[in-house]
Structure 1
Amino acid sequence: MAKKKQLPLPLYDEVRELNESLFNEEGAWETPEYIKQNMVHTFRYYQDAALRFFHYSQAANEFRFRNVNHVLFNMATGSGKTDLMAGLILYLYQERGYQNFLFLVNTNGVLSKTIDNLTNMASDKYLYASQIEIDGERIEIRQVQSFPKTQSKNTIYLKLATVQRVAADIYTQKENAMGEEDYARNKVVILGDEAHHYSASTKSEKETEQSWEKAISTILNANEDNRLLEFTATIDLENKNVYEKYKDKVLYRYALDRFIQDKYSKNVKRIQSSNTDLDNMMNVVLLSEYRRKYALEEHGSYIKPVIMFKSQRIDASNAAHEQFNELIDTLTVESLKAFLNRQSHIASEDDSETLALAHDYYRENEENLSEIVRDIKREFAPNRIINANDTSQSGILEKGHYEALNSLESPTNLYRVIFAVARLTEGWDVLNLFDIVRLSDDPKVKGTKATTMSEAQLIGRGARYYPFLLNGERSFTRRFDDDSKDSLILETIHYHTINEPQYLKNLVAALDEMNLPTGEDKKNPLIDVKVKPTFKRTDVWKYGKIYYNETIEVTDNYYDSLEKYGVDTKNDVVIPYISALKEVGYKDIQVQEDYSNAYNVAVTFDQRYLNKIMNRLSFYHFSNLKKYIPLLKSRDEFFEEKWLNIYNRTIYVTIPRTLDSSVLTASEKLNILKRYFTDVAKQIKSGYSKQRGTGKFIGYPIKEYIANYRKRVPNYDTGKTFIQDSPQKVDRYEIKENYFVYDSAIINLTEKQLIERIAERVEELQEEYSDVYLIRMDENMHRESAKNNKLKLHQFGSGHDEVNLAGFQPDFILYLQNSNYFIQIFIEPKGRNIEEEQWKEDLLMYINEHEAEIIFEDETEDVKIKGVKFYTMNDGRGTIRQIGEIAIGRAFKGLSVEEL
């Protein structure tokens, strides 16, 4: 499916360009220390970027004559919008002199949560340090109902209210209520949370006299210095009226798919079942307890997984609550055994893998079932259940149980289960929600598009990552390999759905519309990939070896010049002119310009340019630079002769004859320098390692290192961008022919095509070699054993265009042996990121060109180590031809046009 065309957002695009421009006077601006020091949480990179974008809109020269007083931050649920608000309050107070802040939201539940976040120092959710201090002055945040006429120094006044209340006060003048003139007296910042609710009149193409939208506009326009900062995860830009309102106001975007790809969330899996509600309840209880016990028994970590039972109607939810209490109350060892037996009899390949893991745990611990039943009765007792129902139109935090619902991660909070009828549950930022169970309710009630979208949004909120303690440390991103057992149990939220076709169709469509990557949690066990018994009977298995080069330790003293990283510091630098509008590295030459009869122009620059670049590129912050250049004494020293030698060399730009040197504006020169410094940073990073390769190749016995391994096939079915970023579907293919060492391969389409093309040449190879074997070197194979980390290829020798000391494992080895010698050919298929990983292909070519540098542990062996170019789809680089020339001294017979 084609991706939707992105609608232009002029303000966002302008500030993004400004962010990339090194001539931006504010380009070196970073999140101030007073924000870092006065907040509990450290900003993530995208929160830093959002704050920086706002700073540009208020301070950059480009906005000097524009009053950017209304902006919107479009950021994923769970990405920390409230943290960003807290930082913006400090920024606006310190940098712009604002003392009056009006926080607006449309529900009392979110309001209560935010009061805790911003004003309640006793709350676990409080976002500021216990004492806010800026420039040696203590700052007080004072919650008020109205902004005082006389304002105290070092005080931030914060009015937190529902938009309904504020709008009523604007339209109905009454005592102690804030009217338009009160918002005109002193400049005010409005913080509008869940802003998608404030455009009802825009959506309906009419501006009612007393709408929320009109009230907010009245407050904003009461004083020319007033500011409106809106925040939402869901903005309907497809609605033409909403788009027209916000196209010049969207300042920053951080979408859900990026949030999930950055691993800031749990994974999401669906468990689709035709079980009764009672059986689903029992299953989720067993799964939840298994999560708790697994964390404790396998990792020594205490977690308290929470279950939410979601209904369509309050009476159905209350009835389910009673059923659940009875289920737990009447649970016995015998009834649990009977349940597990019943589940095993109806089990199928389509059942949930995670539930199967839980069931197996209880069956394996049958002698402890009496203790397990006691634990379940304690953990799911009535006093550990919250019934959060009020009205189908309310959020989960609206009435009652607010404190309990908003502190579910606390060790003193014992609640494990929530029964609720809730819509969007906005503001509910619980992290240890691991299971949401959609109860069947009335079978006549189908999942409408609106209902399933609401549920998809609930799943998105529940996907917030839970930073549980592991080995004494917390992580705020996923730690385990996706689909591993650890990840399935400890880093995945499961949505247990009813198995009704139309409902499931609408739910999947809603998840896909949100671009929330998820898949059905079917039994997706680790697939066994085994070495063929026929191969184990061969002499190659018994006596053969595979060769990789040895590494030696590198001390800090080794890195005494940038040449050791592969950076040329002796010669002048020549860079082709590319407009600042194009993002490329300085060595890139594939550009839309005619360089015939081009001419070189020296780029003149002073220290200001270098300072801007070093401040703007975080790699060059001294604390980071020092990690890679241990002998560096200061950032200024980096420019000097000992290191980059920038003052004794000239940087030239090659300009096409179609242009003249006037194109080298200050902004373009900064762009040119940025490209050069970005490439140098890349060279330094890739050239630094605690180990480096040598030309000595060690033979490792095949029978000790080529082993059975296990691997899963990924199974996402939603999340368009997520899937489009990995277009090559991975699957398992059985390979019966003896030339392939394993019985099967879990590979993508490029890898499959490579195997097929080599298979077509096996007979021709066997005319020259008695032993012809293709070995798949899967990362999962060498993950099974620490010793297999030796099986990596490293750069050796000198003269590499790009120094990269990190080792890598080529995906395939073609093993060829006859009575005279043995040839080992490294082959690496590549479907994307070819430019980024060019150094790998260069290393494979270097092996061929520098045979004299290669020595072997056993010099009596007649061994040849070879490499070939990346194999790409349809063999665009002529890899198969190259294999033929290495193996048989000529091209294979019958090569296709592309292979020639």
Structure 2
Amino acid sequence: MSLTLHQILSTASESKGPDFYKNQVPAFIYANLKAGFGKRPYQAEAFGRFIYYLNDYPDRSKETPVHLLYQMATGSGKTLVMAGLILYLYTKGYRNFLFFVNSTNIIDKTRDNFLEATSAKYLFSPALAIGDKQIQIKEVANFQAANSHGINIVFSTIQGLHARLNTPRENSLTYDDFEDQKIVLISDEAHHINAETKKGKLLGPEERAEIISWEGTVNRIFNAHSNNILLEFTATADLSVPEINQKYQDKLIFDYSLKQFRQEGYSKEVKVLQADVSPFNRALQGVLLSQYRRKIFEKYKKPIKPVILFKSKTIKESQAFLEEFTANIKALAVADLEKMKNTHPNEAIANVFRYLEAAHISLENFITELKEDFAEEKLISVNSKEESEQKQLAVNSLEDAANAYRAILAVDKLNEGWDVLNLFDIVRLYDTRDGKAGKPGKTTMAEAQLIGRGARYCPFRISETQPLFKRKFDDAVTHELRIGEELYYHSAYNPRYIQELNTALTEIGIKAEQNPEQLNTPAKEPATTRVNQTGSLNPNAPPYPQKATLSGPFAFIPQTYTVSLPSGYSEATNAFGRTNAAAAAEITAIEYKLTDFGEHIIRKAINRLPFYQFAHLKSSFPKLTSISEFISSDNYLGNIKVKVTGAPAQTNHLSPPEKLAATLQVLEEIAIVLAADKWE
């Protein structure tokens, strides 16, 4: 297999010296970037490789446009590299730059990066100057009347660019803009423009230029002038697709993986915290860690406000969780935290309670803090298009002191183009998987990429001798500020999903040495319950058992049902590197008769399920005389058994809510079997 351009340049540096490319970078690039930015070794390497390629690479054709790809880890500063290359190309006579991407959210963010000098995200120095010449950067609608002495940038979505060029309007960008002047095209999240390449179409230059598609439009602009330059940036180039790999083999100038980014200390360390608890209690663990982290930062006088992302599968579920979370936080009581404290907490949660005790903070006072910091007005939802556009400014300024939001609720709107440093917890509120044959599905890959986005390091230090933008406590595992360098990914207990997540993390450049351990580790994977504690149907339940052939009206109804109680066990593990083997949580199974739970419990469950209205039962069982008979008679529910699995403290002493949840599950399973058959 032939070497990529990145590999060729890396091989060349072995003979030229490790700093060969870094030494290519002129001082004016660093002088005109935000103070202290751009000087990380890999960023200097990214600048230097381009400068060498443009000026001295022997195999570059001087007669054709330059097309290069930067594959750089999320959070490593792709936009900063763009800014530095814009400055360098200005000195090479380039004045017009076309920035395009697939999302308007990313455009808004990049405008702040390149144009808004008052923004904390601005990437240039307050005054741009090369030599004694002042430089102005401005946004333009087209290049016909561009400033020949400044830097002119057109911002566009890929879709908008395609529409503007193929259905031109007055004062809009047209193909004429590109005919007589050289242009630099900058493509962010560049994997989106490879629609044709992914299809494997092998088209000639003229045919491709005529095709009305995103990729065809970009190629037509690119090939309009022999001195044009196309710079693509992405964290995920899909190089495993043969057609894409072939396309970029001689264009991949710099490949800086998330694995390397993390190993060099520039990212947070990621922990996977699986918990066999309800979604709200999973979210509550995130809330406790977030507030604990905030208090640790305050102890060291660091003005950092940690935020949480609550990720749902659908907008409807996200909206429902917002209501549930708000209500439950308002009703939060000491007993809720006591239960979490005493139900086999993982080490991270245990540290929260140890800290509160050592700092003499009562649970009552801590709950008061939580109710204030996570009140409804401090939660922001960015699910719909309208919400994400309206609230994008707030979501992109979460680090600002004036921004009071502590939690974000989203589905997919923040998967790309979201630059946030103070995200420390991501709570996955659903428990589904779309992998096949052990391979991660599209959803899991997107979740792995979201983890990479959340792993951006939030800079702080407690000594001037410490590096500001790198982890400092990898070897100080007991230091309380270590939690300020960790991102927690909160998941339900689902071994198959975690295996697929590890595969996805590996594919995007993070090699997990072994599967993270589950938060509760039953000796045997528990059966998925069909009904949760609220009585709602769980669609991920296993198949029903085979019917038992007995006498009576329930002759073909299964007589024994298994119910798995959430154990409350949890454990945090390192998603990227070493994990410690954990002892399995003790799981026991006890068999009860359904009637052992009490007639009042069974009646309460029956009243929640319309199927068990007496008139409906009477139509199926004409000899039935009453609900009491239906509950107690061996011909109906009196002979039904329930095998309850869970922690010994649970199975030996079932609480009324647990009895009700078990009864609801059993009745729901019986109802589905009854509804599938005709009964006389």
TM-score in terms of structure 2 length: 0.70
Q: Which amino acid letter does the alignment assign opposite residue 76 of structure 1? A: A
Alignment of 1:181-580 (within 5 A): 181-206=176-201, 209-297=211-299, 299-331=300-332, 335-336=333-334, 338-347=335-344, 351-363=345-357, 368-390=362-384, 398-422=388-412, 425-440=415-430, 449-471=441-463, 475-482=468-475, 483-486=477-480, 488-517=482-511, 520=516
Q: Secondary structure at the match of 2:303?
A: coil
Q: Report how far residue 516 of structure 1 moved.
A: 2.2
Give the direction of change, closer, same or farther, for the CA distance of 1:474–1:373 in structure 2 (3 Å limit).
farther
Cα distance in 1 for residues equivalent to 2:326 and 2:232: 43
> How far does the alpha carbon of each residue in 1:400-433 deviate from its partner, in whole angstroms, 9 at most, with x for none?
2111111111111111000000166211110010
Cα distance in 2 for residues equivalent to 1:398 and 1:382: 18
| Counterpart for residue 111 of structure 1 | 107
Cα distance in 2 for residues equivalent to 1:325 and 1:423: 22
| Counterpart for residue 39 of structure 1 | 33
Give the direction of change, closer, same or farther, for the CA distance of 1:342–1:141 in structure 2 (3 Å limit).
same
Q: Any conservation in 2 of the 1:117–1:125 contact (CA below 8 Å)?
A: yes
Give the direction of change, closer, same or farther, for the CA distance of 1:198–1:494 in structure 2 (3 Å limit).
same
Q: Any conservation in 2 of the 1:106–1:197 contact (CA below 8 Å)?
A: yes
> How far does the alpha carbon of each residue in 1:676-699 deviate from its partner, in whole angstroms, 9 at most, with x for none?
xxxxxxxxxxxxxxxxxxxxxxxx
Q: Cα RMSD (Å) of the superposition? A: 3.0
Give the direction of change, closer, same or farther, for the CA distance of 1:306–1:367 in structure 2 (3 Å limit).
closer
| Counterpart for residue 561 of structure 1 | none
Give the direction of change, closer, same or farther, for the CA distance of 1:23–1:409 in structure 2 (3 Å limit).
closer
Q: Which amino acid letter does the alignment assign opposite residue 407 of structure 2? A: V
Cα distance in 2 for residues equivalent to 1:427 and 1:180: 28
Give the direction of change, closer, same or farther, for the CA distance of 1:361–1:457 in structure 2 (3 Å limit).
same
Q: Report how far residue 52 of structure 1 moved.
A: 0.9
Q: Any conservation in 1 of the 2:433–2:497 contact (CA below 8 Å)?
A: no
Q: Any conservation in 2 of the 1:512–1:718 contact (CA below 8 Å)?
A: no
Q: Which amino acid letter does the alignment assign opposite residue 245 of structure 1? A: K
Cα distance in 2 for residues equivalent to 1:173 and 1:144: 16
> How far does the alpha carbon of each residue in 1:260-311 deviate from its partner, in whole angstroms, 9 at most, with x for none?
00000000000001101121222221111111112222x2323211000001
| Counterpart for residue 30 of structure 1 | 24
Q: Which amino acid letter does the alignment assign opposite residue 262 of structure 2? A: I
| Counterpart for residue 641 of structure 1 | none
> Between Structure 1 and Structure 2, how many residues are aligned?
514
Q: Any conservation in 1 of the 2:473–2:482 contact (CA below 8 Å)?
A: no
TM-score in terms of structure 1 length: 0.54
Q: Report how far residue 211 of structure 1 moved.
A: 1.2
| Counterpart for residue 856 of structure 1 | none
Q: Report how far residue 27 of structure 1 moved.
A: 6.9
> How far does the alpha carbon of each residue in 1:174-194 deviate from its partner, in whole angstroms, 9 at most, with x for none?
322222221122110000111
Q: Any conservation in 1 of the 2:68–2:251 contact (CA below 8 Å)?
A: yes
Q: Any conservation in 2 of the 1:73–1:250 contact (CA below 8 Å)?
A: yes
Out of 131, 134, 138, the residue aligned to residue 135 of structure 1 is 131
Q: Report how far residue 480 of structure 1 moved.
A: 0.8
Cα distance in 2 for residues equivalent to 1:133 and 1:521: 54
Q: Which amino acid letter does the alignment assign opposite residue 348 of structure 2? A: T
Out of 95, 98, 103, the residue aligned to residue 102 of structure 1 is 98
Q: Which amino acid letter does the alignment assign opposite residue 296 of structure 1? A: E
Give the direction of change, closer, same or farther, for the CA distance of 1:367–1:118 in structure 2 (3 Å limit).
closer
1:156 aligns with 2:151: yes
Give the direction of change, closer, same or farther, for the CA distance of 1:278–1:730 in structure 2 (3 Å limit).
closer
Give the direction of change, closer, same or farther, for the CA distance of 1:475–1:717 in structure 2 (3 Å limit).
closer
Q: Report how far residue 523 of structure 1 moved.
A: 8.9
Alignment of 1:871-886 (within 5 A): none
> How far does the alpha carbon of each residue in 1:304-332 deviate from its partner, in whole angstroms, 9 at most, with x for none?
1100000101010111011111122222x
Q: Report how far residue 485 of structure 1 moved.
A: 4.1
Alignment of 1:603-642 (within 5 A): none
Ranges in structure 2 where 5+ consecutive residues have no aligned partner: 521-571, 583-680
Cα distance in 1 for residues equivalent to 2:166 and 2:256: 36
Bigger Rg, which one: 1
Give the direction of change, closer, same or farther, for the CA distance of 1:374–1:255 in structure 2 (3 Å limit).
same
1:82 aligns with 2:79: yes
Q: Report how far residue 510 of structure 1 moved.
A: 1.4
Q: Any conservation in 2 of the 1:481–1:487 contact (CA below 8 Å)?
A: no
Task: State the structure with bigger RCO (CA 8 A, min sep 6), 1 or 2.
Answer: 2
Cα distance in 2 for residues equivalent to 1:365 and 1:521: 31
Q: Report how far residue 120 of structure 1 moved.
A: 1.0
Give the direction of change, closer, same or farther, for the CA distance of 1:718–1:514 in structure 2 (3 Å limit).
farther
| Counterpart for residue 534 of structure 2 | none
Q: Report how far residue 731 of structure 1 moved.
A: 9.4
Q: Report how far residue 170 of structure 1 moved.
A: 2.1
Cα distance in 1 for residues equivalent to 2:517 and 2:481: 13
Q: Secondary structure at the match of 1:222?
A: coil
Instruction: Report the more deviating stretch, 304-313 or 462-471.
Output: 462-471
Q: Secondary structure at the match of 1:357?
A: helix
| Counterpart for residue 72 of structure 1 | 69
1:172 aligns with 2:162: no
Sequence identity (%): 38
